[in-house]
Structure 1
Amino acid sequence: MKIATLVVDDEPIARHAVLRLLREDPDIALLGECGDGASAARAIREQSPDLVFLDIQMPAMTGLDVVETIGVSRMPATVFVTAYEQYAVRAFEANAVDYLVKPFGRGRFLETLRRAKTRLGAARVSAEGGEAIQQVLDALRRREGYLDRVPVRVDERVTFVDVDDIVWIKANRNVVEIHLADRVHEVRETMTSLAGRLDPRHFARVHRSAIINVRRVQSIHPWFNGHHVVTMDTGQKLRMSRYQQEAFMRLVSAKG
């Protein structure tokens, strides 16, 4: 009996990559594809797939919202497709939930598909699988308390800076300097404390005294002794420690 499968991803290239690999498997019966969470929820309800490849980061209605809309106990076997950094991957692994981290290769995809088939064959999806998905959902929701805005003092008043407008952050003794495209604000907070409240999918520590907004990176060039220079979209050049390079490059590649 073939496995009825649905693919959900708002990025057409990523969606078609999954579809192409699934078409090579004679055990898979493709039900279709969805480019947003709302249509995915409808398709899951109406078509009752056995297996769904579900992107987490989608606008308006995320993959996690789809799970909550359908209900964990009624979700089919699910492979989460994600660009989340390590903390989410640890949550998936701890609860034995199948996942793919973008960008993924053919070998990783086939291994994930093999595990999904094994679980379906063992008929344990609705009980153990549902409980595992709920635990992952809880873990990811707990990490959504990241800052959208940072309060800064301007003269005698407090104003707010959108985190998307931050280019980079510099540690300076007992304060941090928040560098925007056209100005700098000082905030009385330690670098470690502020880093813990910024979304690690978008901000990376490239040096002991520097955090950058990954979305504002223009280019990365090798320097010497294993170091690199990161050029921001404002033209600012920052040195990246060789100890931070691997994690940073993994984060940047996930955005691609």
Structure 2
Amino acid sequence: MMLSDRRPAPISTLVVDDESLARRNLTVLLRRDPDIGSIEECASGAEAVEAIRRRRPDLLFLDVQMPECGGFDVLELLGTDLPQTIIFVTAHDEYALRAFEAGALDYLLKPFDDARFMRALARAKEKIAHYAPHRVTPRRLVVKSPRQLHFIDVPDIDWVEAASYYACLHVGRETHVIRRTMAELERDLGDTFIRIHRSTIVNLDHVGGLELQSSGDYAVILRSGTRLRLSRRYKKALQSRLIATQSPV
């Protein structure tokens, strides 16, 4: 049972901006709010990707234009590892539509006053307070056939292929058809799985490497020998995840 007057957990926050003064200003404003817990600053997009995956912050303040890895690059690299609430902070108003399309809650245009910041923070706190809890990654998927039920252990799935309103689960030499969308499976299978094409999701634990094709594109090579097309749209995210999952020698 949840008590309605229970104090919410402190909100963990990440501030990402290549300008130290901009980061400091946001941090000062955030520390005035008793609901804000830990605050970490990142000076680059690449640093932010690592910090977000490590800390899983509730709230992200993200600059748009940064050297080498901008705000939108950060979101692309993160894939499904996005924080609950994202607020863009930038001096450029031309990216507002793209920011909201990417799932941003608000768009703070520099220079902004304290009142504007507090309105954005209040919206963020309201969203976080009502945010649905993370789904528990299932250990098994149930696949129905005309005469029986199949229980598929999720770690055994090599890759998933879109098939109209269905999806094909490739498990070793077997293929099972399930009535689930790719978006649902990408969300529910957990961090071990990643999309490499609009119609393909792979199990990172089953990836053996990448192979450069004569076309200049890459193919994902599974440990089973299966070759799957890697879309350029998902290349950065896949490479980042593969590097992050490597154990130090």
* TM value normalised by structure 2: 0.48
* TM value normalised by structure 1: 0.47
